[in-house]
Structure 1
């Protein structure tokens, strides 16, 4: 027994003998007491003794024992005084003594001691970060009076708290330790020992009384309570009381969905097994099955019964399902659901109400009336935006789908929220549509969209090691730029912004290469329609690696200079989620004594004039960083002019000549001079073949997002690419090829290649040295957010993916892929863009590997797509 409990026991003993002491005191002074008929006295004085910090006059006044008062002994006066003092919850001991009696005047003494004050709390058995929360939740602050009730309620609270989170065998022990004080005041330290034990697992879930629905079906309805099963990944089998209570409701709902609307849980119990697991026993009463009878619509004039029945999709004779009926009338889980409420809301009837009423249940057949109050069609009176301190009003208003005077449409409100979130200028989680001043009589509503600005410009200033040396990077990306204010001094805060334009500058340099790029885009060319104009200019210079010195040979270089102009138009058919994009690009590839295995000519140039057309559809939900639903797909075709049709060159003869030269070059019996001359001739032929690049290229990519539970998002993806030639004698060009593997960041190779990420393998390790002309990739990601605040959006992910590249359709096999799996984290900060790290495990071998599988790779992600 701890010190405080011993103290309480002593208190009760003293309290029990207090009356005896009073009686004894009177007996000492020769007074005969009759318990049936107490004797009356006049109270002379009341003194206070003991260890207390309270004023004597305060204690006497609170007790009600006033000098001169007539009291009866034995009687209620003294017992009431003791009760009052106990009820104050300030004292540990209370005793009332008879000091003396003079004639009919009695003098009393109140002896008491204060409750101990808490000086320190020590909590064991939990992490340090949880201690402060426990102290606050239970009000265990320094200076608190320590009562029996405080100890009991603290213990009960902690046991209940941890049982709710699955620690069913939690034990809590609370001890108090007296602290000596120079002033002899009562003080104690408290030690709270928490033993959570292991989370209890559920061995079995048993049902009794069910015949219509199987045990398996009912267990499946329990979303958060699952029994032990080795192959289960997403749901744990640990018992959590709150989840179990919710699942008891889910069981009843499952019966209701199958026509048993009277089903109920009769009893449920938890049995602790010998192996420290538990079994859940649930007894149900199904009742009788019901079916839908007549369903009549009352009060509808805008839509006919036939139109509403098509939307309801429930017929007479169907199994009664109250849950389904509610969803078909108003599905609160989906703002854009295909239900009757949204049918009215999207037609302007903001003030409509729809209520299903059961009018008869004879013979277990339920007749329904769906009572509709349509109200007056509503129009937007005013539409405003608040919170856009940096972004100009016209940038926001051109994305808004609701206009003053326009008929109210819920779909347009939902779409507006989505479009504002997709801009990237506002915190997608904080965009709120506010319905102000609704007036059912006039049929008007004021619409206000509340937004919160977030950083939309990014800076990249870094140094690092890669590609054989130190790399310095300076990058500036302004995603809400205003080019019209570029010459206005007052607009630099710190840059002109607010018009929704994008401008990016990037400089990067190392010993082996330099790159410079500039890009600009205007999303609403002319300001009237969503037609995006974009342009970009880039120049890169790469130097050949000298294997003898380990340095760059500046006399041998490969330069690429390019310019691109593009237009992208938002379509209206099939719907306005589609975008048609077109671009014209021109690149010059200039080789100066740059002899590598990739190019057969080391001196010369190649030119690339190409046209790209793409069709995309993006209807992902509000937040572009962490979409929770929708899809995003694109298909693009890039093609050059078919020069071989009209340039007058016989590429068949060139191919034969090249093949003959290759024979000489590869013949080791030939002289060095002959082989060198053959190689030079191959270079001359390829210079002629690739003077103007001739090719066509097709890419497809699709992403789908599904919210499995709250914020747990599944993202399957699929990619495909093909690089072809118009003329087989001319062949597939050495540029524009696909290199699969790694983080997809390009690995400092500036030869126009397309790097395809496939985690779990080194960069570009899953393609030949010259790259592939075909690739496919499949991936599956499971994402969960850690935080979605505007300052930093962080989410964790797990992934499975596979892919490969091929040299021709003869080799192509979409199922012959390199597989990987792993975990990762993404961090998006407005000032720095997307950062992340992935740990991927490759399950297959790559060229040069000696094991049966590649194993683990770590990938750092900078600035990639979400």
Structure 2
């Protein structure tokens, strides 16, 4: 009996435990698996909305009446409503058979204003902030805009700028936003230092950079503004400089930027590893495509054995071979340069590998980040478009072209997979920068008789974001007034050719070297056709009217001769012509390497009064003699001739006039044929000239390099001779070679290049006019 009771008690206890375990298991399954715990509501009620209607709110949530939903659906709906940016608070709860959605709407922005900004205008600030009128007011967005404004001021040289934001609700339910700005003082750069450079001096490397140390001209040039993007760009310039000069292993180890709050200045230190300098060893083209002869492609290769390694020449050769293959119909041919280093003798054996690349097509070209420049301005720099065979070399070529335009602060071209394995998307990320400039300059010139001059110029390289060039300038001095207008469309008819025009009006008053008053008005229409990246041809039509109005009263004794030399009245020249230009100049502002060749001819007689052919040639060669010391050599030669095409002689005012601009040490219009008057002699120009110069430029060792001053020594030689008609006048003429030597001071100023030349003539004709000092401004090209 006892055993039966014990057994019964144990059986009951086991049954009880089994039932409890089963109940617990069911409960755990219900609690632990919320996805299986579904609910249903009959309706969705929206509360708290005033501007946004209930149906809009319902569209954002994933729960529908009459259908099962879980807590995960509630969380997803809350996130979706927050993601719209329309609400500051969202709550979702079940109340009986209803789902109640309670929202608090964000305010709407009324106006966005800026206070305290003087250096940066409202339009620049508006382009940066994301808070816009009639947009949703968001606290996170406001704080983000504050940081964006601070970053903008930092990039513009004002790292101490302070920005705060205030909001002002209106009765209409909208809120006005005011960003209050304390611009602070300009932040400069106290030093730019280099560590690890052995071959090139720190001064030479600083000259490569676009960022400069603060100096007395920085307030105008703004070249001392610290910007991370500029630093990265300058690092790339330094890297390319080393790679052009044989340092294939060069790398920048790191860049350290320190800010001194007491001095309000940045200090930049760039640590680099130069590596060894290499020369080209063997150079060959190896093709794995059966019908492509590698030896035949060698004519497109400019890298030569024994020459200093130059990465730029490797890029150009790779590009030239790729383009040649495309022209032969090899759309998928792939050209890859492979360099095999010989570390013992420091040579690189270079092989251009030509393979059949993957059959990829361009699905689309995406342009991102451009706020001002039109999409088509960017697209036209690509030699490929949607549907074309993808070619990496052409993409790299387009990226280089975009960077060279000067329209963008940064350019980055990447690729992404397309909709299928044989499709690729080209993504172009750019950041627009200011391309307009307004300049006011003044000074004293020794040209054309000397005197004070002033110029005002407005230049826009990317007019209306269309990639067009526009320049308007006014200038003048004591005896001249000039107006110029220039416009160029670089892609005429959607092709890589330029169309432009120039308009000129000049008033010239009598001077000691010019015994007449003359007004000149006219213009030029230009059509440019690029043949290669280095060579182009330009065709032009010129139409000018020249009005000689009077002679000075002091020249009364020479009036009979002046009537033949400078006849009063209107004269029209109408001509067609061409200009051939070949240039590998590295920098037109401060050239250090490269060749420049130009040949031009004008054929006058397409209507008008003048009938002649004018021919001119100019050749220059720049070479860094001592690259580590920034010593540059220049050899220049030029020649010209004008010949009558009809029975009438070439007029005096159509002749060439030469002086101190070609042979320093001579005055303007200082050498060449001259009329011997009653009391003085007058330059009448010549029909033939040629001249040559040798010059060595070097940094001045005494003055700080950030001043941008350089010195030069030179030797010049040249002549100007020949004239048409004038048999009854007393003319002095000689084809003897005039020579001179001298020294120069060159300043790369914020106004452009300025130079003063001290020249001493060595040989001259007895009727020439000399001048020891000459001041000139502007680029040489």
TM-score, normalisation: structure 2:
0.48
Quick one: higher RCO (CA 8 Å, sep 6+), 1 or 2? 2
Return the index of the structure with the highest Cα Rg: 1
TM-score, normalisation: structure 1:
0.44
